[in-house]
Amino acid sequence: MNKSQLLRSPKHRKLLFGVGLSWLFDAMDVGIISFIVAALKEEWTLSSGQVGFLTSISSVGMVLGAALAGIMADRYGRKAILLWTLLIFSIASGLSALATGFGVLCLLRFISGIGLGGELPVASTLVSESVPAKERGRAVVLLESFWAVGWICAALIAYFIIPKFGWQAAFVIGAVPAFYALYLRRAIEDPPRFVQQQGQRRPTLREKVTEVWSSEHRRSTIMLWILWFTVVFSYYGMFLWLPSVMGLKGFSLIKSFEYVLIMTLAQLPGYFTAAYLIEKFGRKFVLVTYLIMTAISAAWFGYSTSVGMLITSGIFLSFFNLGAWGGLYAYTPELYPTKVRTTGVGMATAVGRIGGVIAPLLVGILLTRNIAIDVIFIMFFVVILIGAMSVLFLGKETKGIELQDE
């Protein structure tokens, strides 16, 4: 990839890395729970249903967090809400280390989810509004690449820290972002286009929702809600269960962590290729192509039995799925005007988080009923294709188009 104007601008580079690190911490928190539940399944003798509930409860909080943060960021500013959400999830994560029972841990994961769900749509909107149109898509995909680094950090913590110091140590590390928020408070500012609208009359919540569902935006809203639901459903259903699925396929806890770490490394090139292609061929091309390849990789993984096939299919699954996520976060803020942008993004994200609640629970139920892994991954294959088709037939291309302010 050629060095872009974005990366040559000190201001934009500082913004990207500043917000990107908060995104990294967010991903680390989400990722670490998938490894912790694999350890807790043995230590607390949790059933598959309990594992599914524990991985889903954070997503319940994310539904609430995404909707509230989106609305509040349109009123109080992107920066303020980003900082508050960062503090909420990091403090709750740190307190999770003190959990002595299943119920307490679930409550703390719910609170953490509120912060996690709120941060993501606000962070992507802040970056999207702050960079020029010709670099906007690439900037948001590069922001999303920090998610891969966060998951890699989670996998490294799981591999090196959990076996030696216990799952509590992983949660203690998750409290680090609380200190980072103190730096971020001085390092970033609200986008100029948001600040310029501060003197204008602010639309009410009802007016915002009406605008999101107006004739001008209805088609995009329907498309985004389908897309977000299918992408989040498949991602959380597959990746939060990945270490446990590897265990069900006959591998030890340590080996499962090792193989998932290898698969996770493929997320970074997935993001970087998407960042290049999204400004060259457009948002729809990246989303449709990467989602179709994700679906194929999911089916392949489900039917794999040998170590080589599992790792290879898992690498392709990580590569294409996370590349699609980058396109999703770049595309969504571009479909709404500034006055309702984080409201629209937050509502779409919240609908997606419902999928993140359902999928881990559903996988737990299906496994309890002895449904085969390959059948479960065929379900993900179908769901992902539905998301790809919604973009293909309902989506509009936004490559190179200036963000709408009115």
Collect all residues with Cβ–Cβ distance below 8 Å to 286 and sequence separation of at least 6. Answer: 274, 277, 278, 323, 324, 326, 327
| Side chain identity at residue 7, one-letter code | L
Q: How confident is the model at residue 406 (pLDDT cuts 50, 70, 90)?
A: low
Q: What is the pLDDT of residues 6-18, one digit of tens each?
A: 556 788 888 888 8
- Helices 283-303 and 373-394 pack at an angle, to 10 degrees, of 170
Q: Is 308 exposed, middle or buried (0-12, 13-18, 19+ CB in 10 A)?
A: exposed
Please say whether the beta carbons of 321 and 392 come within 8 A: no
Structural domains in the chain, CATH included, are 12-185+215-394 (1.20.1250.20)
**Angstrom distance (rounded) from CA 238 to CA 44:** 23
SS percent in the chain: helix, strand, coil, step 5: 85, 0, 15
Distance CA 90, CA 140 (A): 23
Specify the pLDDT at position 255.
83
| Confidence at 2, pLDDT banded by 50, 70, 90 | very low
**Gap between the Cα atoms of 61 and 227, Å rounded:** 20
Per-residue pLDDT reduced to its tens digit, 300-314: 999 988 888 989 999
- Round to whole Å and give the CA distance between 89 and 111: 7
d(CA 368, CA 348): 31
- Report how far apart, in Å, the C-alpha atoms of 340 and of each of 204, 287, 355 are: 10, 24, 23
What does pLDDT average to over the chain?
89
- CB atoms < 10 A from the CB of 183, how many? 11
pLDDT, position 133: 81
Lowest average pLDDT, out of 103-112, 120-129, 208-217, goes to 120-129
Mean pLDDT of 382-393: 98
Tokens of 184: 């971020």
Rounded to the nearest 10 degrees, the angle between the axes of helix 283-303 and helix 218-239 is 30
pLDDT in tens, 272-302: 999 899 989 999 999 999 999 999 999 999 9
Q: Is residue 337 within a helix (H) or strand (E), and if so which, with residue range?
A: none
Identify the weakest region by mean pLDDT among 6-20, 202-216, 222-236, 275-289: 6-20
Measuring CA to CA, which residue among 59, 25, 26 is closest to residue 240? 59
Query: If you average pLDDT over residues 94-111, what whole number do you get?
Result: 94
CA pair distance 266, 316, nearest whole angstrom? 7
Q: What digits encode the pLDDT tens for the residues 178-189? A: 888 878 888 888
Instruction: Write down the pTM of the prediction.
Output: 0.81
The model's pLDDT over 147-172, given as tens digits with 9 standing for 90+, comes to 889 988 988 898 899 889 999 999 99
pLDDT tops 70 at residue 54: yes
**What angle, rounded to 10 degrees, do the helices at 102-130 and 78-96 form?**
160
Instruction: Give the CA distances from residue 30 to residues 33, 35, 134, 141, 179, in Å, rounded to whole numbers and listed in that order.
Output: 6, 10, 31, 19, 19
DSSP one-letter code for 4: P
Q: For 167, list phi and psi in degrees, rounded to 5.
A: -65, -25
Residues 325 and 144: beta-carbon distance below 8 Å: yes
- Judge whether residue 403 has pLDDT over 50: yes
